Chains A and B, each alone.
Chain A
Amino acid sequence: MTMRVAVTVNGTEYARDVEPRLLLIHFIRDELGLTGSHWGCDTSNCGSCVVWLDGKPVKSCTVLAAMADGHAVRTVEGLERDGQLDPVQRGFIECHGLQCGFCTPGMMMTARWLLDHNPDPDEAEIREAISGQICRCTGYENIVRAVRWAAGQARADGAPGDGPA
């Protein structure tokens, strides 16, 4: 029993015949081969699997691929534009915002969304935004610095973040 699921991911349309019970994270990783999004706790706690669905972050282990049929998804692969890393990605490099890197794709997708809605968040706002995601390496300190760096960089560049996918 399969159904046709057509999803626009990072601007490219994909269609696959999948079971209705297939979770979005597995659709993205296994059907489309976009393995930047990580499959973590499987219980909607850790946030490693966060992608955007219609411009809003979602824990993709807790959404069916079927629910995304006809909708737009943006993954960590879609942060980079025209060969240029997003300021959030550069912030994670500059501020050592990761060690093992497992939580990083989800953290960056949430950070990009935060900055699109609040271009100059303070530390408390950043910690609140990522409070549904878990990092076991950094103690969050460098992640907060990375997001602050990205906010400062966007101001320096005079360029707001990319809009919703």
Chain B
Amino acid sequence: MQVPSHVEYQRATSVEHALSLLGRPDTRVLAGGHSLIPMMKLRLAQPEVLVDINGLAELAFIRLDGDQLRIGALARHADLLSSAVAGEYFPIFHDAERVVADPIVRLWGTVGGSLCQADPSEDLSAVFAAARATAVIRGLGGERMVPVREFHRGPYETVIGPGELLAEVRVPVRPGTGSAYEKVARRVGDWSVAAAGAVLQLAGKRDRPVIASAGIGLTAVGAERFVAAEAEDFLRGRVAGAESFAAAGAIAAEHCHPAADQRGPEDYKRHLVAELTARALRRAAACVSLDA
């Protein structure tokens, strides 16, 4: 029987209330709880205080605001999966949310919780990194913006400090953009063996689409900041197509650092990175309709 160690429970009634509670040492935010509570049961996490933010409806939103898609930290995975506006502008979110955990867990786990858990195998970190999203972090002194690519300090570690709370994630919406996520896992609910996400902005004409910018996120393969920066650089300015996408996949596979584990050996994971990156890029490009 797995039992968390003793802990104090506090329920936040507002963001300001949560922030005041989070100033105490050894305090953790409790949202969906589907990463934190299993870790507490295994005594991998032993916080002194839990601050339950599930009642903070003001953090549970998904909406288009000008040229940004804004996703509240307390939006559940199921909310993002069923969000028409998110799917319209970023199919990558629907691709990824279909394969995050399982349908029951997705009803409770939150977008903000996934990012803050900072598990190297967690899917949304790579997705938001590919989309060059920005994290909005609230503190009692105000809020600060951190690019998701600078949000993680390492496995299970983020830039969020004591007395701070991830409030939302903002994703820039740009014209001519397509996106997709490709994941290989052993079974429903399991972490990725490897996964790749692509967000492509195309310009030019239909018969010669040129890559204006490329974002490539990688999950579970030891990619620095969850991105394939060398492959992104390679693609910028090139003609979009199977050839450049395959080459980008090979570059991504070369520069990541997968570890051999029960999900597979290193060379298999590199093979997956090359293939999944190319597939995600192809599907992302197919989302974009350019003028003839």
Using a CB–CB distance below 8 Å, which chain A residues touch chain B?
1, 3, 19-21, 23, 42-45, 47, 50, 56-59, 62-64, 66-67, 69, 110, 128-129, 131-133
Given A23-B37, A59-B105, A132-B101, 14 extra CB contacts under 8 A: A20-B50, A21-B5, A42-B1, A42-B41, A44-B105, A56-B107, A57-B104, A62-B34, A62-B108, A63-B33, A64-B33, A69-B11, A132-B102, A132-B104
Q: What residues on A are CB-neighbors of B50 within 8 Å?
A: 20, 64
Interface 1/0 per residue, B248-292 and A, CB below 8 Å: 000000000000000000000000000000000000000000000
Contact A58 B9 (CB under 8 A): no
Query: Is B154 close to A, CB under 8 A?
Result: no
| Total CB contacts across the A-B interface at under 8 A | 77
Contact A132 B9 (CB under 8 A): no
Bound-complex Cα distance A64 to B28 (A): 14
Within 8 A of A (CB), among B1-49: 1-9, 11, 30, 33-34, 37-38, 40-41
Q: Which of B3, B34, B41, B107 contacts A57 (CB 8 A)?
A: B107
Contact A131 B189 (CB under 8 A): yes
Contact B54 A67 (CB under 8 A): yes
Q: What residues on A are CB-neighbors of B38 within 8 Å?
A: 43-44, 62
Q: Which of A1, A57, A67 contacts B52 (CB 8 A)?
A: A67
Would you list the 9 A-B pairs with minimal beta carbon distance, nearest first?
A132-B102, A20-B9, A131-B188, A21-B4, A66-B9, A132-B104, A56-B107, A42-B2, A62-B37
Q: What residues on A are CB-neighbors of B5 within 8 Å?
A: 21
Q: What residues on B are CB-neighbors of A128 within 8 Å?
A: 103
Q: What residues on A are CB-neighbors of B102 within 8 Å?
A: 131-133
Q: What residues on A are CB-neighbors of B104 within 8 Å?
A: 47, 50, 57-59, 110, 132-133
Q: What residues on B are CB-neighbors of A3 within 8 Å?
A: 9
Contact B33 A67 (CB under 8 A): yes
Q: What residues on B are CB-neighbors of A59 within 8 Å?
A: 34, 104-105
Contact A20 B8 (CB under 8 A): yes
Q: What residues on B are CB-neighbors of A44 within 8 Å?
A: 34, 38, 105
Q: Name 27 interchain pairs, CB-CB below 8 A, sorted by A.
A: A3-B9, A20-B8, A21-B4, A21-B7, A21-B40, A23-B3, A23-B37, A43-B2, A43-B38, A44-B105, A47-B104, A56-B108, A58-B107, A58-B108, A59-B34, A62-B37, A63-B37, A64-B33, A64-B37, A64-B50, A67-B33, A69-B11, A131-B102, A131-B103, A132-B101, A132-B189, A133-B102
A16 to chain B, nearest CB (A): 14
B157 to chain A, nearest CB (A): 23
Closest to A47 in B: B104
Contact B107 A67 (CB under 8 A): no
Q: What residues on B are CB-neighbors of A56 within 8 Å?
A: 107-108
Q: What residues on B are CB-neighbors of A133 within 8 Å?
A: 102, 104
B39 to chain A, nearest CB (A): 11
Bound-complex Cα distance A110 to B34 (A): 18
